[in-house]
Amino acid sequence: MHGDITETSQLPGILPMFPLTGALLLPRGRLPLNIFEPRYMAMVDDALGHNRVIGMVQPVNPEDASWAPELYPVGCAGRLTSFSETDDGRYLITLTGLCRFRIKKELETDKAYRQIVPSYAPYEMDFSTLGGDNIIDRCRLLRALKSYLNARDIEADWSSLETAQPESIINTLAMLCPFCAEEKQALLEAETLTDRGQALLAILELSAASSSAPGGSTPDTSVN
């Protein structure tokens, strides 16, 4: 899954950055992306010719449409594991999450896209696969998820959710559920998988409760 990258020392010291509001990449998660802006198509071209690693990060202000919006300090590096080009010239790619990073500094560059120097040191544990049902109360999580999804008319593959490994279910739900940017960032920055599971449960329960009140929104999407 990770190619030859199995520890932080093998990760690149300079990362191309793809700022995207609401896009959450987590270690071992798979994030499909539709690339159509020329600067990010150039970034993908460069990544394909180099180490295939791209850094995903969210802008602090989703409304900031400038070339270089302020970024959250923590993102996740992903390896480009699938690539195709559409008839109209867009790139369809998938990033597989490797390791989170903290932005040390942004570089001046003549590239069309932004580059940073990352620190992976705080997240060396991201290369370890974690398991064990004691990480999360699965019954409580699925109960909260069902309320959350029902309030939004979202369908789910319940058989897969009931049998998935704890890490897989936590990270998949964190990445796919339509949480706001702040909630996505809180899930990304949760120190451990247990912390992320608890944060996910809290978000689902609070969101389900607020959505059941008058005026709650019901976007149409799906979780599979």
pLDDT at 4 over 80: no
| pLDDT (0 to 100) of residue 74 | 98
Q: Which residues pair with 34 in a beta bridge?
A: 92
| pLDDT (0 to 100) of residue 64 | 87
134: number of Cβ within 10 Å? 8
Q: What is the pLDDT of residues 136-181, one digit of tens each?
A: 899 999 999 999 999 889 898 898 888 889 999 999 999 999 999 9
Arch. (CATH architecture) of 8-127: Roll (2.30)
Answer for the pair 187, 178: CB distance below 8 angstroms, yes or no. no
Stated length of the chain: 224
Under the banding of pLDDT at 50, 70 and 90, the label for residue 66 is confident
| Domain limits, the chain | 8-127, 133-223
Under the banding of pLDDT at 50, 70 and 90, the label for residue 223 is very low
Under the banding of pLDDT at 50, 70 and 90, the label for residue 2 is very low
Give, in degrees to the nearest 5, the angle at Cα 68 between 51 and 30: 40
pLDDT at 131 over 90: no
Q: Smallest Cα–Cα separation from 22: which of 170, 176, 147? A: 176
Give the pLDDT mean for 44-62.
Answer: 96
Q: What is the pTM of this model?
A: 0.88
| pLDDT (0 to 100) of residue 84 | 97
In sequence order, the 6+-apart residues with CB closer than 8 A to the CB of 50 are none
Please tell me the least confidently modeled range out of 2-11, 33-42, 175-184, 206-215.
206-215
